[in-house]
Structure 1
Amino acid sequence: MGSMVPYGSANPDVRRDGSAPAMRGAPVHRPGEMRLGGSRLREECWTAVGARTRQRLAELSGAPIDWFAREDESSGDGRCFAVTLGEAGLSIAEPRVNTEHRPVYAISSFQFAPGSLRHVQIDHRPPPRAAPFGTAAAVPPPGIGLSTSAKGILGNLPPGAQELLQAPFTSGQRILRENWYYEGYDHRLDAFVFYLAGAKDVTFATGTKLIPAGHTDDSAHWSLTCYRASVARRIGR
């Protein structure tokens, strides 16, 4: 079973099936629905955010790893928010209205401690008719402050990925921000991003999902890279 290695120093180790049991009390969740359609894709939303805001996100996050943008339902006017994940930080731009009632972007960032970013690859290839995750749990999993929606998204991921994403938050560290993005088709997701951010740690996963012929959602194949970094300082809220 692979372990996390420093980002940029080596190719990540590979967890070949991602089915290791959750460690340190990290819960394994039941899968929730992952709906598709009904919104602009991330490329269109990214452009709508504007060049100046995109440049600031790039400056804060450093060398890019992944990103997403989508419509902000709370904006009231169809404006978009954006998230960039890089070697230097996790950065978020959210639409706001200033005191002059003009549309602006509020930018926040979790800046990583130099050298703390680590990663591991999860290559999950279950056979057809595999049992859904979480069905063997005799008691409800312990809570770590995730929203119901986040639990549902996490529940679709291999148990090993669920463990890695949640591990820093099982000892009392509060989750301050959570979000995710995916796009694709019923039988495959061409882009998937999920992150959790706290005062001390950030975890995130990026990758793809495929449901091969003869398989179902319960036996979907996932190719993910999971990351973890320590937070040195925060910008914005």
Structure 2
Amino acid sequence: MGSSFPMEPSGSGRPEARRGGGLARPEGAPVPLHQAGEMPFGGRPREELWESIGPRVRARLHELAGDTIEWFACADPSSPEGRPYGVVAGEGGLAVAEPRISTDHRPVYAISAFLFASGSLRHVAIDHRPPPRGPSATAGNAAGNVAGNAAPAVDIGLSAQAKGVIGNLPPRAQELLQAPFTAQRRPTRHDWWYQGFEHRLNGFLLYLAGTRDVTFATGTKDVPVGHDAASAHWSLTCYRASVGRRMGG
């Protein structure tokens, strides 16, 4: 992949949404575009789960991440007690708290973080408004990415479920999220969260984090009357930062 990634610098606070903005497609193997998968709903509200993590852990996540861009909390499937884990994406880093048991069998949290190199955070706003009931842009481009390119799309090691979630996003968002990663430099962590309804997501966060780069996308999704999931409208901001320091596992 090429290193060029012409995004706007991110200053303090959340960026204003904007249309357009150029992006040079990375050189080398094409970025994979995925087929849309199911996005089921359910689970406890993030606010309720966030509160149960505890104030000291929450404060530490915010301290590591810096000015908050988006956050979420979900029940940890590996926790027998159903304890939650939390994620904060901010101007200064991506921080994660996961439930663990200490050596003396107390419930604790293990905190890890990808701390961004100073000044490296960039963002691009995407305002995706396809016409109603048109062909699926993501499905069509995913097929073209295999058949229409001389070089096969690079496999960056995402789970099938992650590929399905990413496949719901506009093609440009898929490219931005995956652009820094290669088969040799895969994300070491990836996760996502969303809330709302099938016709409206009022919160969304998906991140890919590796040893050198972190990318994440935040925003909303609407399915207007006369549209379906394939022609959903997305308002997203895609971020990328270089990892300056890694903390924890």
Which residue of structure 2 lines up, in the alignment, with residue 134 of structure 1? 139
Superposition deviation, residue 232 in structure 1: 0.5
Does the 8 Å CA contact 1:46/1:68 hold for their aligned counterparts?
Answer: yes
Q: Which amino acid aligns with 1:126?
A: P
- SS of the equivalent of 2:180 reads helix
Which residue of structure 2 lines up, in the alignment, with residue 114 of structure 1? 118
Distance 1:150 1:162 in 2: 11
Q: Which amino acid aligns with 1:6?
A: P
Q: Return closer, same or farther for 1:14/1:4 CA change in 2, 3 Å cut-off.
A: farther
The gaps in structure 1 that reach 5 residues or longer are none
**Identity, % of aligned positions:** 58
Which residue of structure 2 lines up, in the alignment, with residue 28 of structure 1? 33
Distance 1:224 1:36 in 2: 20
Distance 1:182 1:141 in 2: 27
- SS of the equivalent of 1:206 reads strand
Which residue of structure 1 lines up, in the alignment, with residue 221 of structure 2? 209
Does the 8 Å CA contact 1:154/1:162 hold for their aligned counterparts?
Answer: yes
Q: Which amino acid aligns with 1:201?
A: D
**Residue 7 (1) aligns with residue 15 (2):** no
Which residue of structure 2 lines up, in the alignment, with residue 124 of structure 1? 128
Q: Identify which of 145, 166, 184 aligns with 2:178.
A: 166
- SS of the equivalent of 1:26 reads coil
Q: How does 1:50-199 map to 2 (within 5 A)?
A: 50-132=54-136, 133-136=138-141, 137-138=143-144, 139=146, 141-170=153-182, 172-199=184-211
Distance 1:188 1:21 in 2: 31
Q: Which amino acid aligns with 1:175?
A: P
Does the 8 Å CA contact 1:5/1:13 hold for their aligned counterparts?
Answer: no
**Once superposed, which parts of structure 1, at least 4 consecutive aligned residues long, lie more than 2 Å away?**
9-16, 20-24, 138-142
Does the 8 Å CA contact 2:157/2:183 hold for their aligned counterparts?
Answer: no
Distance 2:119 2:17 in 1: 15
Superposition deviation, residue 173 in structure 1: 1.4
**TM-score (norm: length of structure 1):** 0.92
Q: Which amino acid aligns with 2:63?
A: E
Distance 1:180 1:130 in 2: 27
Does the 8 Å CA contact 1:22/1:160 hold for their aligned counterparts?
Answer: no
Q: Which amino acid aligns with 2:175?
A: E
Does the 8 Å CA contact 1:22/1:159 hold for their aligned counterparts?
Answer: no
Superposition deviation, residue 170 in structure 1: 3.0
Superposition deviation, residue 111 in structure 1: 0.4
Of 132-141 and 66-75, more deviation after overlay is shown by 132-141
Superposition deviation, residue 13 in structure 1: 5.1
Which residue of structure 1 lines up, in the alignment, with residue 44 of structure 2? 40
- SS of the equivalent of 1:149 reads helix
Does the 8 Å CA contact 2:177/2:217 hold for their aligned counterparts?
Answer: yes
Distance 1:21 1:192 in 2: 25
Of 137-146 and 159-168, more deviation after overlay is shown by 137-146
Superposition deviation, residue 196 in structure 1: 0.2
Does the 8 Å CA contact 2:62/2:68 hold for their aligned counterparts?
Answer: yes
Superposition deviation, residue 181 in structure 1: 0.1
- SS of the equivalent of 2:174 reads helix
Superposition deviation, residue 186 in structure 1: 1.5
- SS of the equivalent of 2:98 reads strand
Distance 2:193 2:49 in 1: 12
